[in-house]
Amino acid sequence: MGWIRRLSGLLLAAALSLAAGAASAHPHVWITATSEVLYAPDGSVTGVRHAWTFDDMFSAYAVQGLEGKTKGTYSREELAPLAQTNVESLKEYAYFTFAKADGKKERFNEPIDYFLDYKDTVLTLHFTLPLKNPVKSRQLVLEVFDRSFFIDFKMTDKEPVKLVGAPAGCQMKLERPSDGTASAQKLNEQTFMNGENSNFGLMFANKITLDCP
């Protein structure tokens, strides 16, 4: 079962404990993220490496039923099956990562080098998304967001994006989303899934623009 589907039971329990107005609010999962853009020696971008730290509630739910050798801690090996389930589930959502090179949409292959770690009671998912075809462009735009705004992605305040192996002269700009929580709370669950607001999450995209000479 995918980690988004697996969360549905938790959301149902949470909804029963909340007032009707609060239960309709979005998002339901919060992720604090960092990203590394990976360059080849010839200056082409080969992919992006993500690290996504989940909120306390989701982390607690995700590790329910898992038994570690030491109580309250989980090794990378013990979390490996959950990590695999997570990355397999991400495919349906295009890994919440969208790329354009000089205005042309680019696609990613399936994640590699993925793993979960558990520290200070929260889970962090690490994975690398290789581009189907490495791109060498004057401008590359990467956006990280959930179209339905079920998940809220926030880039970390400190070193949110790193360029790994980038040619000299490349510049990076990060545009963070504005806080639209108030607007989101006015929309119920069905509104997010259908109609003109089905892509509501675009308002909350983290936009990374890379310009290279």
Specify the pTM: 0.81
pLDDT per position as a tens digit, 90-142: 888 899 999 999 999 999 999 999 999 999 999 999 999 999 999 999 999 99
Distance in angstroms (rounded) separating the CA atoms of residues 194 and 192 = 6
Instruction: pLDDT band for 163, please (50, 70, 90 cuts).
Output: very high
Residues 208/172, Cβ–Cβ less than 8 Å: yes
